[in-house]
Structure 1
Amino acid sequence: MEHYDLIVIGGGPSGYAGAMRAIDFGKKVLLIEKRRIGGAGVYDGVLTSKTLWEQALKTASIREMIPDYEVNFESLKKIVDEAVYERKTQMTLHLKLLDSLSKKLFTYEKGSAYILDKKTIRITKEDGKTKEVSADNILIATGSRPRIPNNIEVDEQHIVTSDGIKNFTSLPESMVVLGAGVIGCEFATIFSALGKTKVFLIDKADRILPFEDEDVAEVVTTNLELQGAKVHHGASLKRMEIKNGKVEYELEYKDGKTEVLTVSKALISVGRVPNVENIGLENAGVKLNERGSIWDDDTQTNISNIYVAGDVTTEVALVNVGEREARHAVVRMFGPTVKPLSYKNISTIMFLNPEVASVGMSEQECVAKNIPHKVVKLDYTVNARAIAMRKTTGFFKIIVTNDNGMRILGMRVVGEHASSAIQGVAYLIHTNQGIRDLADMMHPHPSITEGVQECLRMLLNKSIYKPYVFKDRLKCYVCENGVCTPIESLV
């Protein structure tokens, strides 16, 4: 029986990252993937949706100048396929070259992995042949799949999850999106921006993106509606079914009113579930938590030599988080003692229109936890780069402690290049540094990051535009005991 230092189950972003990190320690690694290297992160998730998003925003920009411009669906699909092929080829070639090195540390097996005990795994190949292998450590990175409500029949043709978007042969005339979280809003943004699909978004709450601040959700909603989308606020789905090649759905609103509508397609976006079935967890005694995902303590399961990373934990279903978890797990196996992972200040991007980037706590979270705080908010209309781009919808918002230290609690940027503006502040949060050095740096001009600098200057009471003069563009206020009060000066 072949023996390894580490067997990784799952070749998505998390498993791939974990396998590569183990090689750094000179360990013998086996990576097992039953379908395709890259997983959903390449084929049905981040890469495909973000490629679509980039093309959708380009299309929307063209349509601003040429209102009757129509995107070619075949060309759009070709661009997405090319992106997938490029990434897939890159990853596959990398594995083949690793596998061919004279010092053979890495092995890749395509097949289904089944845990027989805490150190033994059976691999079943596509032709039905099996083999058993063993390892000192196991990393489970089997990912997740879209959640499907029990009362909806998903055929991935008319009613689809994110996995079924690739089955479209043309842009639908109309589409309803069930789920007003990040993924649902992203796809609503994409299809409405492409200009050929009337998009409906079912929002059970009073507003979309309920986990985010109201001002963030308001800008995103306004822009969706400007693109022709309709948001069903405060609506519960009573039923959804395929009728005569279309999708009929019935809504019930909070006032008891009902409404029946028919669209070409429906997209279900109500979260994801971990892939924990049929991998033999019970044979090794690996526990699940109350959410049905694998229980872990800082990536280690209840079985000391078995670790877990990525969506299968459903801690935070993001590629960057899954990769970081896998690398951390491998360091725990083979490296020096490290401090536990922190999920408090993760930088995230929401690919909406406009783009939304965030790090740390939101304003509503600070209020809910009764944390005294100061808020500075700067409108994109006073940023030279945004003016030059003619993209002045959006704002910068920084939340700090209500004391002289003004430690950064969180930040939100809504607007063009938002993701580029967030990382400097994320670093300050991560290293627990003050704001003065970043405020005093010479930022490039014109740049979006100058908006961050001006927010910090506002906190230090030395901004170029004065918030007590330019009250509609710059805002400063302090919140304590649930009451927010505008302030003229911050020092």
Structure 2
Amino acid sequence: MTEHTAFDLVVIGGGPGGYVAALRGAQLGLKVALVEKKHLGGICLNWGCIPTKALLHAADTLRHIRGAATLGLDLAEPGINLGKMVERSRQVAQRLNRGVAHLLKKAGVAVVDGTGVLAGDGVVEVRSDDGSVRLLTAANVILATGARPRALPHVPFDGDRVWSYYDALTPGSLPRSLIVVGSGAIGMEFASFYSTLGVQVTVVEAKPQVLPAGDEEVSAFMCEAFERQGVRVLAGATIDAVERSETGVRVRVSAAGTSEALEADRLLVAIGLTGNVEGIGIENTRVAAEHGRIVTDACGRTAEPGVWAIGDAVGAPMLAHKASHQAVACVERIAGARGDDKHDESWIPACTYSYPQTASVGMTEAQARATGAALKVGRFPLEGNGRAVATGETAGFVKTIFDAQTGALLGAHMVGPEAAELIHGFTLAGSLEATEAEIIGTVFPHPSVSEAMHESALAAFGRALHI
């Protein structure tokens, strides 16, 4: 007999959106079930944000050791144990996976293993690997099914010559050469990691600039920084053909009116993600999907009453922190603890943990100018920051964009050490609708890289002190 259990809320997907939704629902007194077919914590924790940062930390440490002589430290040339690097990154992911399981258990969330499928009328079928089916019912269901890597047309991932980020996270050996297609955060981070380990890396980007969603000045700076590190960057380039060989891959690329054949041991395809909208039963409901994303209103509702969707499955920006933020807002609406305010995505920060790091929030300068508003733009190079000079990390800058009439902060962009740890200052300022007066009037600690944030705001209004 099929088991049938009633809940107040069923969440399908256990990533940063799904498990946070389940935890918040439990906090609000709802009886919650979380359906996950493979890994609690989702792609981010198990195969994305977390393990990549473990690898990048190893690369950063290697870079620091190699530069120790400039600090007066005499150290032998470090060796590279790729197996141990990968093993540690997997251990980090596993530790956090267990942590999520503990949090859900402590909160009283019922974790149900299997694939969740909408069956209509508030019913979710959970199909297990052994063929058994469990039925869950709930007045509200949240789809948090995440996303997966997009492949190049007619070039499927094979785990050998053609990699997705799964393969790049767990290489059996270090390739001598690597072509990275796509220069978003994923592509740039892996290009940085492998280049630091001595791999000959070429980045191919179809758009005119790397980090194509970012500010043009940041993208230009990053392109130059990568090329100084020995990474070849081909922007505005298209992939005409990909051939696998016995030893690697051959990629035909066109750029600036010329065609060129690139050869490498491996090809990493990092051209973005597509939402997991198939196989979850939306055809049994009024839930609609377009271009690999579930269609919702500004509050996360789908066309099916009682069915909501959040996170990567609803489209860009595909960021873990966006998914978690949407999760809390969505559950609070379901529980009646929040009104019908829409998801505000104006101040969601984006970070790239390559070397150098980048972090941005709000509008790019081009986006701000497109509004027609008069702008005040401030820039401050880290070469003028005492803390950056003391640590030898002067490659970078801070850029702030303000409305010239109102003084409102419109956007902020950073390149340099710990940019991802500092961007929250601008995120908070933007969320609180701060103007230049509040930022300029804030006391920043000395010596710190954060002082460059202050100086950038000062520079926008002709008041910079250290440049």
TM over 0.5: yes
What residue identity is the alignment partner of 2:283? E
Q: Distance in 2 between matches of 1:170 and 1:288?
A: 39
1:228 alignment counterpart: 230
Q: CA deviation at 1:219?
A: 1.8
Structure-2 separation of matches of 1:43 and 1:141: 16
In structure 2, the residue matched to 1:320 is 321
Show the counterpart of 2:134: 131
Specify every segment of 5 or more residues in structure 2 that has no aligned partner in the other structure, as ranges.
69-74
Question: Is 2:467 the partner of 1:458?
Answer: no
Corresponding position of 2:295: 295
Matched, 1:148 2:151: yes
* Greater CA drift, 65-74 or 393-402: 65-74
Q: Is 2:271 aligned against 1:273?
A: no
Find the aligned partners of 1:332 and 1:259 in 2 and give their Cα distance: 54
Tell me the C-alpha RMSD between the 2 structures.
Answer: 1.7
Deviates more, 1:22-31 or 1:433-442: 433-442
- Trace 1:292-441 onto structure 2 (pairs within 5 A): 292-297=292-297, 298-338=299-339, 339-403=341-405, 405-441=406-442
Question: What SS does the corresponding residue of 2:56 show, helix, strand or coil?
Answer: helix
2:102 is the alignment partner of 1:93? yes
Percent identical among aligned pairs is 27
Residues 153, 241 of structure 1: 8 Å contact kept: no
Aligned partner (choices 207, 210, 215) of residue 209 of structure 2: 207
2:14 is paired with a residue whose SS is coil
Find the residue that maps to 2:289 and give its secondary structure: coil
Moved more, 208-217 or 126-135: 208-217
**Following the alignment from structure 2 to structure 1, what is the Cα–Cα distance between the partners of residues 104 and 205?**
43
Distance 2:280 2:63 in 1: 45
C-alpha displacement at 1:254, in angstroms? 2.8
Paired residue type of 1:112: T
| TM-superposition CA deviations, 1:358-397 (whole Å, max 9, x none) | 1111112123333320111111011111011110011111
Question: Following the alignment from structure 2 to structure 1, what is the Cα–Cα distance between the partners of residues 83 and 292?
Answer: 40
Partner of 2:90: 81
Distance 1:282 1:386 in 2: 55
2:256 to 254, 257, 270: 254
Aligned to 2:186: 183
Distance 1:137 1:207 in 2: 43
> When the two structures are aligned, how many residues end up with a matched partner?
456
Contact 1:13/1:319 (<8 A) preserved: yes
Deviation string, structure 1 residues 404-431 (Cα, Å, up to 9, x no partner): x311111111111212332222222111
Counterpart in the other structure of 2:52: 49
SS of the aligned residue for 2:456 comes to helix
Query: Following TM superposition, by how much is the alpha carbon of 1:10 offset from its aligned partner in structure 2, in angstroms?
Result: 0.7
Q: Contact between 2:11 and 2:141, CA under 8 Å: does it hold in 1?
A: yes
Letter of the 1:315 counterpart: A
Tell me the equivalent position of 2:116: 113
Could you say what secondary structure the match of 1:13 adopts?
coil
8 Å Cα contact 1:400/1:407 also seen in 2: yes
TM-superposed deviation, 1:259: 1.6
Deviation of 1:461 after TM superposition, in Å, equals 4.6
The CA deviation at 1:150 is: 2.1
State the Cα distance separating 1:67 from its structure 2 match: 9.0
- The secondary structure found in structure 2 opposite 1:222 is helix
Q: Residues 360 and 413 of structure 2 are in contact (CA less than 8 Å); yes or no, is this contact kept in structure 1?
A: yes
Q: One-letter code of the match for 1:160?
A: W
Find the aligned partners of 2:126 and 2:427 in 1 and give their Cα distance. Answer: 42
8 Å CA contact 1:249–1:262 kept in 2: the answer is yes
8 Å contact from structure 1 (residues 177, 201) kept in 2: yes
Aligned counterparts of 2:102 and 2:269: Cα–Cα separation in 1: 34
1:386 aligned counterpart, secondary structure: helix
Deviates more, 1:234-243 or 1:314-323: 234-243
Determine the C-alpha separation between the residues in 1 that align with 2:245 and 2:65: 36
The answer to whether the 8 A contact 1:212-1:364 is kept is no
Query: Structure 1 residues 345, 94: CA separation in 2 closer, same or farther (over 3 Å shift)?
Result: closer
CA distance in structure 2 between the partners assigned to 1:198 and 1:366 by the alignment:
37
Question: Alpha-carbon deviation of 1:68?
Answer: 4.7
- CA separation of 1:94 and 1:211: change in aligned 2, threshold 3 A: closer
Q: What is the TM-score normalised by the length of structure 1? A: 0.89
User: Is the Cα contact below 8 Å between 1:25 and 1:335 reproduced in 2?
Assistant: no
